[in-house]
Amino acid sequence: MSKALQMTSKGALGCLVKDIDLAQVSDEQLQQLKAAFAEHEVLFFENQSMAPEAHLAFASRWGDININRFFTHVEGYPAIAQVVKEPQQQGNIGGYWHTDHSYDQVPALGSMLLARQVPPTGGDTLFASCTKAFASLSTGMQQMLLSLRAVHSSRHVFGEQAPYMGEMKGRLGNSDAAKQDAVHPVIITHPESGRKALYVNPGFTLHFEGWTTEESKPLLDYLYAHAVQLEHTTRFQWAPGSIAFWDNRCTWHYALNDYHGTRREMHRITIEGSPIS
């Protein structure tokens, strides 16, 4: 029997898992990691400068791999999205609060981001807990939100007319694939932890079902400001070989863009989820 993994909580969400080689995780350790993922919502690891094959092999132990339809992939590895910002580029990928794939009918379970090159300073990623955000709302607001559904889309971010796509030319593409919308409950129950989570996000949610965009905006803005209160968030500082593995069903993330003139390259593998409710 292998000994219990060493984990340090990172505050509102996330925990740093120490002394582990993700290329050699036993089945028993994997079970511990799965329990920690459900509990902490984001797992952080350090010193995991593994080959793309090992990154893929570890990610595959959590589910099927999603081949991202918008991101440029790492050469030779279609299942690994490249999240890069070159020194001469201004915009970064993911520099806004969002959860990946909420525009899909069956959103992704999570994303595993491995740092390959990081700037000397800056380039941290912020995470917010949507279970904490739900739990700290009044019971009146919780009850009201439980009756709502919301429409999510990729069109305004990855579609042909999206300003973001112009800025991300060469890094993101395939705008033709940004045609789908999805409707999800505003509050979902996390399939493993059983906790309720706020499931709208500033990146991809358009409006509440049956409400206009104008009618939806004040309440969405309130929820967005509520969710990112510092008490619901954590911040991760990267080094080469660091990994953040976040649960897309109950967290948001935000890649800070404060390292102009330097290069940052991350490799992201996204794992397919199951229907949410």
By CB under 6 A, the residues from 257 to 276 that bind ligand SIN are 266, 268
CA distance 6 to 82: 30
> x/- site string to ligand SIN, residues 53 to 92, per CB under 6 A?
------------------------------x---------
Closer residue to ligand SIN (CB): 207 or 267:
267
Using DSSP's 3-state secondary structure scheme, residue 173 falls into coil
Using DSSP's 3-state secondary structure scheme, residue 151 falls into strand
Tell the smallest beta-carbon distance from residue 254 to ligand SIN (Å).
8
**What values do phi and psi take at 235, rounded to 5?**
-130, 135
Residue 196 as a binder of ligand SIN (CB under 6 A): the answer is: no
Tell the smallest beta-carbon distance from residue 82 to ligand SIN (Å).
11
Residue 255 as a binder of ligand SIN (CB under 6 A): the answer is: yes
Residue 48 as a binder of ligand SIN (CB under 6 A): the answer is: no
Candidate residues 55, 171, 253, 267; the one interacting with ligand SIN per rule CB under 6 A: 253
Catalytic residue among 100, 101, 171, 247: 100
Closer residue to ligand SIN (CB): 29 or 248:
248
Helix ranges (H only) for 136-245 are 139-146, 155-158, 163-167, 213-227
| Count of positions (residues) in the chain | 277
**What values do phi and psi take at 257, rounded to 5?**
-115, 65
By CB under 6 A, the residues from 110 to 139 that bind ligand SIN are 111, 113, 125
Rg of the chain in Å (alpha carbons): 18
Give the residue among 136, 125, 78 at the shortest CA–CA distance from 98.
125
Closer residue to ligand SIN (CB): 40 or 100:
100
Catalytic residue among 116, 253, 264, 267: 253
100 is catalytic: yes
Closer residue to ligand SIN (CB): 83 or 186:
83
268 is catalytic: yes
Label the pairing between strands 15-18 and 42-45: parallel
Closer residue to ligand SIN (CB): 232 or 267:
267
Run of H or E including 153 = strand 149-153
Using DSSP's 3-state secondary structure scheme, residue 269 falls into strand
Catalytic residue among 40, 55, 98, 171: 98
Give the residue among 103, 107, 108 at the shortest CA–CA distance from 179.
103
98 is catalytic: yes
Write the CB contacts of 249 (distance below 8 Å, at least 6 apart in sequence).
Answer: 99, 107, 109, 110, 188, 190, 191, 197, 199, 273, 276
Active site residues: 98, 100, 253, 268
Residue ranges in contact with ligand SIN by CB under 6 A? 83, 93-94, 111, 113, 125, 253, 255, 266, 268
